[in-house]
Structure 1
Amino acid sequence: MPSAAGGPVAVVAAAAPALGISPEMYPTEDDLAYEEEILREPFKLKGWWRYLVARAAAPFAKRAVIYERALKALPGSYKLWHAYLRERLDHARPHPISHHAYASLNNTFERALATMHKMPRVWVLYLTSLLDQRLLTRARRAFDRALRALPVTQHDRIWPLSLRLASLPACPVETSLRVFRRYLQYDPSHAEDFIDFLISANRWQEAADRLASVLNDDGFRSVKGKTRHQLWLELCEILTKHADEVAGLKVDAILRGGIRKFTDEVGKLWTSLADYYVRRTLYEKARDVFEEGVASVMTVQEFSVVFEAYTQFEQSMLAAKLEAAEEEGAGSDGEDEAGRKNGMDKLSKKFVAGCWLNDEDDTDSRLARFERLLDRRPELLSSVLLRQNPHNVEEWHRRVKLFEKDPTRQVATYVEAVKTVDPMKAAGKPHTLWVAFAKMYEKHNRLDSAEEIFKKATQVNYKAVDHLASIWCEWAEMELRHNNFDKAIELMRQATAEPSVEVKRRAAAEGDEPVQMKVHKSLKLWSFYVDLEESLGTLESTRAVYERILDLRIATPQIVLNYAYLLEENKYFEDAFKVYERGVKIFKYPHVKDIWVTYLTKFVRRYQRSKLERARELFDEAVKQAPPQEKKALYLQYAKLEEDYGLAKRAMNVYDEAVRAVPNSEKMSMYEIYIARAAELFGVPRTRQIYEQAIESGLPDRDVMTMCMKFAELERNLGEIDRARAIYVHASNYADPNSHPEFWKKWNEFEIQHGNEDTFREMLRIKRTVAASRSQTHFILPEYLMQRDQRLNLDEAVDTLKRAGVPEDEMAALERQLAPGPSAAPPPAAAPANRMMNFVSAGVQAQAESSRQPQAAAAANNEDIELPDESDEEDDVQIAEKSVPAAVFGELGKRAAENREEESSGAQENEQLGALERIKRRRQ
């Protein structure tokens, strides 16, 4: 290895003064390997980079020497330049911008750009450093050099920094404007940024021009997401608030174009336009704009915006005038008497001339204008609503009410309304406008004008026939109010006249049939016409009108009834019945119901029994036509006829037919009526057949139970106790003890009064059976539980006998008999009462004991094998019997013993019950 005196160290030391390197930065012995490598290959980046990486912890000055030596050998290395510049930036940042390190840094950037002028990162580092140093002129020139040096595809890296330069507060406005204008040539889509800058710089003229050009460009798309409407509003704000600083633009045309193009926020655009003229001191023009705005907006919200701005404008004008007058009055306080006299003379002349709108003092004029504006608000608001829907009839009526004190304005409003409203599009009833118009003339005693209005109204093609009919009726009522009765009838005759064949043919050819072709069938017109004829005409004319109504087939049931009533009043009874006949042929149920009821009632009342067969035919026809739910009233009326004027037997037949014809919901009430009438006409025994029929007729269960209870009560009253009990037994199938306790209470009371222990026990058994069958879950109870229930029932029977009046001593004896004795032995054939369910003993036969039949035979076990009565080997075969040990049966054996004891007590109870029966018979 060469020594330091003659090696690379000596070489660096010899060249140090020329490089400006201090002696402490000389290479050391540790650097010899890297120095020798770069001496051997000075133009290879690898050696220099290894040297820099190895000296990463060295002071910046020493690394700077290495970088400078490397860049002198490799001036075109981007890697070296970029790393060197980054380290120089990091070294300079801790120092203030006035430090000499920044001058050295800028000098290094300039030397780097001599070869790195095509590298955008180097330019970005340089430009950012210049912006941080606030070297605006040098930075602007560097930006120009960068944009010229780099291709256009890489300008997007430079322009954000350039815009940052333009946005600095210290940057002159003209410089910023030039930067932004140049940038828009590169990217026109960022015009909004330039406009925002112009607004912030108070360059209103150029901002308005730029906004106008953006709005005129149909291909412009906002990068900030603004709509064209928002841009319009910004332009309007600039034009109106800075009207004196903006010239060259047709503000009025621009704002009106926005009003036509953008339907929302129209109120704001109108107020902006008026504000523009206010700022230019064109107050009358501003007032005209406000008037045009309130007269053209389409919504209440926009009207509120414009009207509020209008009122504020008028109020501010009035306040300004009053303030000026106060200042003038304060300045003239020191004037002499002559001056005041001259003022009074001036005021008197002004009053005499009547010129209170003098230009010199228009305070009164402004005050009157302001009050007039406030008074006009309802009218202006009504105009807005009518512009939204000019066919709104109710709004036209409300508008007329605004001019109650001005008939001329009312007439003008009505004329405008009837010309504007299209009957086919009207919201409401358009004929009411004509009627109200005519009534206004009638109110002022102008009947000729009112008649002219009605005449024109009858020629309008309304959407509904009822509208035209209402016009005719209102016209006739007006004539009636003024006692022109003949003219009213003539109007109704004219309105109900059928159009000629030629007119019908012409309307059919045109394909549009107006309501005038159908109004002659209007029921409203005919009803009014017939009322007029009844009140003012003759019977013949009234009948002609009614007949015409029936011929046109537009009559209602009420008209038929009215016509018949008219004939009855005039003693034309047969004609009235003919009208009823026509009515029942025209209408169907349910409309014909009232006609039938009235017809039958009047016919029976008129002829009674003289035309009984005809009345029966009418009733048969009425019942035949009526639906089931309407038959009951007719059957009752029919039966009343037979009871009053016919045969009772036929009345019963009618009732019998009625109970079969009426719906199930009314059968019960019909049977009750049937039974009551049968009992009254033929006696109580006759009702048995009806009760039986009712029970078997398929009534609901509850009704069947009720009917059975009534039937049983009837039999009890007749002394037929067994029949009554049989009825109770039958009714028990429909009476759940949980749902119908009143039935079982009734039967219980019946058995107490008329039964015995057997019948009482049978009732309880049936009750238990019904309850089990009606329950949701059915259990088969063991026999010992059934016997326990029987003992409980026996106790109930004893209590019942006590309540029946049996003496206490007999009852005490009976209770002693009921107590089981110690020597009571169970019957040999008794079955175990508490045997397990579904278990059959192999050696014991089960035997059921009946409480009602003590002599019943024991039932054989179905599991036994049938043996022949006689056998050939009877003498030879011997069957050995042996007792089965108790351990075989286990618990069952114990239960069998208990059952035998309970059966022995049951036998005693049977004997005691027999004694109880004998006691009762003895008492009877």
Structure 2
Amino acid sequence: MSAQIVPNGNRRRPDLHLINDEDSVFEQDILRNPGSVEPWLAYIQFKVQHGTTQGQAFVLERACSQLPRSYKLWKMYLEYRIKHVSHLNAALYANEYRKANALFERALILLNKMPRIWELYLHFLLRQPFVTRTRRTFDRALRALPVTQHRRIWVLYRPFADSVAGITAVKIWRRYMQLRPEDAEDFIELLTQAGLYTDAIKASMGALNNTRFISKHGRGQFELWSEMVNLMIDHAADIGPSHETGIDVERIIRSGISRFTDQRGKLWTGLATYWIRRGCFERGRDVFEEGLVSVMTVRDFTLVFDSYVEFEESVICGLMETASARTQKGIIDDDADFELDIRMMRFEQLMDRRPFLLNDILLRQNPNNVLEWEKRAALWGSNKSEVVGTYTAAIAAIQPKKAVGPVYQLWANYAKFYERGGDLRDARIIMEKAVKVPFKSVTELADMWIEWAEMELRNQNFDDAVRVLAKAIQAPKRSTVDYFDETLSPQLRVHKSWKLWSFYVDLVESVCSLEETKKVYERIFELRIATPQTVVNYANLLEEHHYYEESFKIYERGLDLFSYPVAFELWNLYLTKAVDRKISIERLRDLFEQAVEDCPPKFAKVIYLMYGNLEEERGLARHAMRIYERATRAVADEDRADMFNFYITKSASNFGLPSTRPIYERAISALPDNEARDMCLKFAEMEKRLGEIDRARAIYGHASQFCDPRTTPDFWTKWESFEVQHGNEDTFKEMLRIKRSVQAQYNTDVNFIASQALARSSRRPEDATKFEGQDSMEALERQARAPAGFVAASDGPSMTGTSQAIPSNPDTIDIDDADVDE
């Protein structure tokens, strides 16, 4: 069919047979509106519903050719072609894919600023086995689109780069990092996987130097820095020298050592490992040595030392294996054997240095630690020069005010070192310097003086020891210095140290006369630093030399200095010795009266008992009773009941039982309810022994007012037993009436009711059953013990066998046994 000219000016195409009569309406619309998209869209929609695949492609091709700048038409056409080949294998039907690619290229001639077209094209290319073409297309898309649209391309480009891997992926990622530097961690991981360790380290350094970098995985600066350092250490052999790569590994790790103090051991070990893996063994050994003398904690020291030992062992093992191989081959290498010997000697020296290195760590932590300096001196053993050097360094390093431990002990051990060597003159020189040190407290200075005196005593220089202590306690006649005034140096306050004076007085007492010892004691009293022990020691000293009256005067001076409770101990000793001395009774009475005059109730019991015992032995019993009566008012509340019992016992033994009645009466009125109840029972028992049954019954009646039947059943049991033995029916009923009255009185006490409810709730059920089971047996026993003619309370005679009911009297008192047991 020959070509014909159509009204739109184009030659008639040979495939016009695809246009049928149904399409004429759409063709006419296209002719009438050649620049409009709507007729073509309607035409395409009609072909989709009623046309063939070839017809759809024909209409879409004509539409895109006539309106090549229409994004909507090209998008429909391209999606149609992609759908057409989506089910085909890209390798077997490469021609079809090539046609689609050509169509995309045609569309991008005028629509290269449309990101959606690029996305369709790139998605389509990713399904094809063309890496280079796909990469170049991605690059074209990035060049064609504005930067604001690049994110849409990189969403596809990044997975493509990861799938390709290798150098291509690295190059792609480098471009991506210019847009998204926050993904540096993924880039570093890619570089590490690709074996580009130098580039990975540089990328890490760039991320760390970026102050606005925030890890997407929540890692901190230290964690990122640690990963970079580990990368440097693990791949030290793959990283070139610093002048080529620009990476100064040692400088980086040392900066971390100074910055991250809690990771020093790990970083020193890492730096040494870096040099070892680069083959610089001597450099690594130097790093280990530097680490051992610079770390500050035992944990870091252990980490560095163990790594150092492991390195030396590995080197020695390697040399030994080499030597063994040479021996098997019959080769003799003196240089190699000498190197092995040097290595072994160095290793042994390292192991010997470990205690000293560890001690250095502890001293670097705190140079004022006295105990560690002592340990260091002990490590040197008998090496005199090193021991002296250690003590000299310790004295220079320790600040006495900040010292941890007794500084005086360090000076004392320093002097003892010379003393053990027989150089007593140098030891004294050290002691003279030591007592001038500004110690932290007066106690330490006093201990220093005592150490000096003990050194003289060990060498049998008794006079020198006394002279040393006399110099230490030298002070003005009237000292106004306050022992606790911290603003004054210890040297100005040491003359008031009781510890120093105590040692001095013991020494003088041992080697000097009594008169000199008395002068020392008197000086202690003048300085007002005497303690109770000083008073006792001074008094005992005079007593040993038979100066009894003077020893009593010392006790009196001590009583003037000290108040209770110290004064109680002094009075106890003083009175005991005075009584044993058998001085006049009048003087002893004066002493006891002075003792009890201001004595607190807490301590009065012992003194009153001693006073009463004195009167019983050397005075009159009547006077002793008066003293015991005074004691019942003077002692503390917790001792009053015991004092009354003691008073009653003494009165009964001296004047008979009837004399105790007023004592019992006063005790009952003075003691609290619990103790008064026990006193009443004893009083009643005493009256019963005297045959005063009515008086005993009256005492029971008086005691019943503070004896609730539910809490104190023992009291009522005893009274009931008393009535059964000595009473009659009226007295027994009166006892029961009083019991009910008391119980009713306690029933109105709210606090008591609450406590009883709590007690009942805590009582075990089996206990209640046991008590109920005992009621009937106890009733029978009481009936058997009752005197003739005495009828126990009951519900009345048994009415078994009769139907006549006994009329009840509402005024009858119920004295059932169950009530008695309540």
TM-score by length of 2: 0.85
Q: 1:758 aligns with which of 730, 743, 760?
A: 730
Q: Deviations over 1:786-845 (max 9, x none)?
A: xxxxxxx99999965743675xxx999xx9x97889999999xx9x635xxxxxxxxxxx
Q: Is 2:38 aligned against 1:46?
A: yes
Give SS of 1:76's match.
coil
Aligned ranges 1:190-269 → 2 under 5 Å: 190-216=183-209, 220-240=213-233, 241-243=235-237, 245-247=239-241, 248=243, 249-269=247-267
- Partners of 2:217 and 2:456 in 1: CA distance: 73
Look up the match of 1:332: 330
Q: 1:426 to 1:500 in 2, by over 3 A?
A: farther
Look up the match of 1:85: 78
Q: Is 2:102 aligned against 1:107?
A: yes
CA drift of 1:164 comes to 4.1
Q: 1:90 to 1:553 in 2, by over 3 A?
A: farther
- Partners of 2:185 and 2:783 in 1: CA distance: 112
Look up the match of 1:516: 491
Q: Deviations over 1:550-573 (max 9, x none)?
A: 222222211111111111222222
Look up the match of 2:686: 714
In terms of mean alpha carbon deviation, does 469-478 or 797-806 score higher?
797-806
Q: Is 2:391 aligned against 1:414?
A: yes
Task: Letter of the 1:487 partner, please give it.
Answer: D
Look up the match of 2:584: 609
Look up the match of 1:748: 720
Task: Letter of the 1:428 partner, please give it.
Answer: G
Q: 1:46 to 1:657 in 2, by over 3 A?
A: farther
Q: Deviations over 1:360-390 (max 9, x none)?
A: 5322221222233233333322322332233
Look up the match of 2:629: 656
Task: Letter of the 2:691 partner, please give it.
Answer: G
Q: Deviations over 1:312-338 (max 9, x none)?
A: 1101100110111111112228xxxxx
Aligned ranges 1:255-334 → 2 under 5 Å: 255-332=253-330
Q: Is 2:592 aligned against 1:631?
A: no
Are 1:496 and 1:519, in contact at CA under 8 Å, matched by a contact in 2? Answer: yes
Q: Is 2:595 aligned against 1:622?
A: yes
Are 1:239 and 1:246, in contact at CA under 8 Å, matched by a contact in 2? Answer: no
Are 2:481 and 2:493, in contact at CA under 8 Å, matched by a contact in 1? Answer: no
Look up the match of 2:661: 688
Look up the match of 2:512: 537
Q: 1:170 to 1:802 in 2, by over 3 A?
A: closer
Look up the match of 2:785: 803
Q: 2:575 aligns with which of 587, 596, 600?
A: 600
CA drift of 1:767 comes to 3.0
- Partners of 1:316 and 1:46 in 2: CA distance: 84
Look up the match of 2:767: none
- Partners of 2:343 and 2:715 in 1: CA distance: 95
- Partners of 1:631 and 1:234 in 2: CA distance: 79
Aligned ranges 1:341-740 → 2 under 5 Å: 361-404=338-381, 406-498=383-475, 512-610=487-585, 612=586, 614-697=587-670, 699-740=671-712
Are 2:478 and 2:527, in contact at CA under 8 Å, matched by a contact in 1? Answer: no
Count how many residue pairs are aligned between Structure 1 and Structure 2: 776
Look up the match of 2:759: none
Q: 1:47 to 1:433 in 2, by over 3 A?
A: farther
Look up the match of 2:63: 70
Q: 1:800 to 1:185 in 2, by over 3 A?
A: closer
Q: Deviations over 1:699-758 (max 9, x none)?
A: 122211111111111112222111111111111222233333332332233223322222
Look up the match of 1:857: none
- Partners of 1:31 and 1:745 in 2: CA distance: 129
- Partners of 1:159 and 1:797 in 2: CA distance: 107
Look up the match of 1:837: none
Q: 2:809 aligns with which of 821, 833, 837?
A: 833
Structure possessing the higher radius of gyration over alpha carbons: 1
Are 2:323 and 2:336, in contact at CA under 8 Å, matched by a contact in 1? Answer: no
Are 1:233 and 1:269, in contact at CA under 8 Å, matched by a contact in 2? Answer: no
- Partners of 2:687 and 2:405 in 1: CA distance: 71
Task: Letter of the 2:737 partner, please give it.
Answer: R
- Partners of 1:500 and 1:224 in 2: CA distance: 80
Are 1:462 and 1:468, in contact at CA under 8 Å, matched by a contact in 2? Answer: yes
- Partners of 1:503 and 1:677 in 2: CA distance: 54
CA drift of 1:502 comes to 13
- Partners of 2:410 and 2:20 in 1: CA distance: 114
Task: Letter of the 1:647 partner, please give it.
Answer: L
Are 1:385 and 1:395, in contact at CA under 8 Å, matched by a contact in 2? Answer: yes
CA drift of 1:624 comes to 3.1
Task: Letter of the 1:88 partner, please give it.
Answer: R
Are 1:423 and 1:462, in contact at CA under 8 Å, matched by a contact in 2? Answer: yes
Task: Letter of the 2:60 partner, please give it.
Answer: Y
Are 1:567 and 1:576, in contact at CA under 8 Å, matched by a contact in 2? Answer: yes
Give SS of 1:361's match.
helix
- Partners of 1:501 and 1:820 in 2: CA distance: 104
CA drift of 1:291 comes to 0.7
Q: 1:381 to 1:105 in 2, by over 3 A?
A: farther
Are 2:412 and 2:448, in contact at CA under 8 Å, matched by a contact in 1? Answer: yes
In terms of mean alpha carbon deviation, does 554-563 or 618-627 score higher?
618-627
Are 1:603 and 1:615, in contact at CA under 8 Å, matched by a contact in 2? Answer: yes
Are 1:208 and 1:246, in contact at CA under 8 Å, matched by a contact in 2? Answer: no
- Partners of 1:146 and 1:641 in 2: CA distance: 122
Q: 1:202 to 1:803 in 2, by over 3 A?
A: closer
RMSD over equivalenced CA pairs, Å: 3.9
CA drift of 1:478 comes to 1.9
Look up the match of 1:179: 172
Q: 1:59 to 1:303 in 2, by over 3 A?
A: farther
Are 1:204 and 1:242, in contact at CA under 8 Å, matched by a contact in 2? Answer: no
CA drift of 1:27 comes to 4.4
- Partners of 2:83 and 2:615 in 1: CA distance: 127
- Partners of 2:481 and 2:753 in 1: CA distance: 79
Are 1:9 and 1:27, in contact at CA under 8 Å, matched by a contact in 2? Answer: no
- Partners of 1:170 and 1:61 in 2: CA distance: 41
Q: 1:649 to 1:165 in 2, by over 3 A?
A: same
Are 1:608 and 1:645, in contact at CA under 8 Å, matched by a contact in 2? Answer: no
Give SS of 2:288's match.
helix
Aligned ranges 1:846-857 → 2 under 5 Å: 848=811
TM-score by length of 1: 0.76
The sequence identity of aligned pairs, in percent, is 44
Are 2:197 and 2:238, in contact at CA under 8 Å, matched by a contact in 1? Answer: no
CA drift of 1:198 comes to 3.0
Are 1:195 and 1:210, in contact at CA under 8 Å, matched by a contact in 2? Answer: yes
